[in-house]
Amino acid sequence: MREAVVFIHGLWLTGLEMSLLRRRTRQCGFACYQFRYHSLIATPAHSAARLNEFLRDIDADVIHLVAHSLGGIVVLHLFAADPQQKPGHIVLLGSPVNGSSVALAMNRNPLMRALLGRSTQQGLLGNVPRWKGARELGMIAGTRGPGLGTFLTLGKLTKPNDGTVVVRETTTSGISCHLQVPYSHFTMLFAEPVARAVCRFLRSGNFSD
């Protein structure tokens, strides 16, 4: 049985920052692919449609998904629009599936609103498609470290948080497992314990050994 893992990056990023996580996941025995999209120009729904096309071209029996931040919202749009995907597990990393308080603060500021682009449309400001439990969905949320939210809120971002996303913003019904890790929104991508947790979930649908 051929298994593949597709990685989906977050806002302002390109997928290059996920290189180490991809390499560690490849060492776990998976074929790895990176999906890239225009996080500012395209809405999450439009990016999900492109992701759907990308997945159809992968020659594998099982396709797992690993998505960081806004990428997790793209995944929710994917399954809302076309739930008939190939089997596989899904891991979201710091995805604000309940909307982002940091994005809300930025959207209120005319000077910073443009930095969000179209990511706010059924995306970072909320109104995200609900997960209907089509398969095992795991969430990894960071609890430590400075980030954009720390700066924008002058250190008053609701705790626990990863410096950008509040932990409670990563919770939604249908999540199979929710794991909190002592890393920031960005550094979790480079942490070996996070990579090990991702591999465990892809294999078994659980973060535990």
User: Tens of pLDDT along 88-102?
Assistant: 999 999 999 999 999
Q: How far is CA 177 from the centre of its chain?
A: 14
Amino acid at 174: G
Is residue 101 one of the residues assigned to a domain? yes
Instruction: Report the candidate in 149, 173, 151 with the shortest Cα–Cα distance to residue 159.
Output: 149
Q: Is the pLDDT of residue 131 over 80?
A: yes
What's the total number of domains in the chain?
1
Is residue 164 one of the residues assigned to a domain? yes
Is residue 8 one of the residues assigned to a domain? yes
- Which pLDDT score, from 0 to 100, does residue 174 have? 87
- Which pLDDT score, from 0 to 100, does residue 146 have? 84
- Which pLDDT score, from 0 to 100, does residue 154 have? 63
* More reliable by pLDDT, 202 or 150: 202
Is residue 209 one of the residues assigned to a domain? no
Q: If you average pLDDT over every residue of the chain, what do you get?
A: 94
Supply the range of the domain harboring residue 37: 3-204
Q: How far is CA 196 from CA 8, 22, 91, 112, 191, in A?
A: 18, 11, 12, 36, 9
Is residue 42 one of the residues assigned to a domain? yes
User: Tens of pLDDT along 98-124?
Assistant: 999 999 999 998 889 999 999 999 999
Is residue 140 one of the residues assigned to a domain? yes
- CA–CA separation, 141 vs 92, rounded Å? 9
CATH of the domain at 66: 3.40.50.1820
Is residue 199 one of the residues assigned to a domain? yes
- Which pLDDT score, from 0 to 100, does residue 129 have? 94
Taken as a whole, the chain contains a residue count of 209
- CA–CA separation, 5 vs 31, rounded Å? 6
User: Tens of pLDDT along 133-162?
Assistant: 778 999 999 999 888 777 777 667 899 999
Is residue 142 one of the residues assigned to a domain? yes
Q: Going by DSSP bridges, is the β-strand pair 31-35/90-93 parallel, antiparallel, or unpaired?
A: unpaired
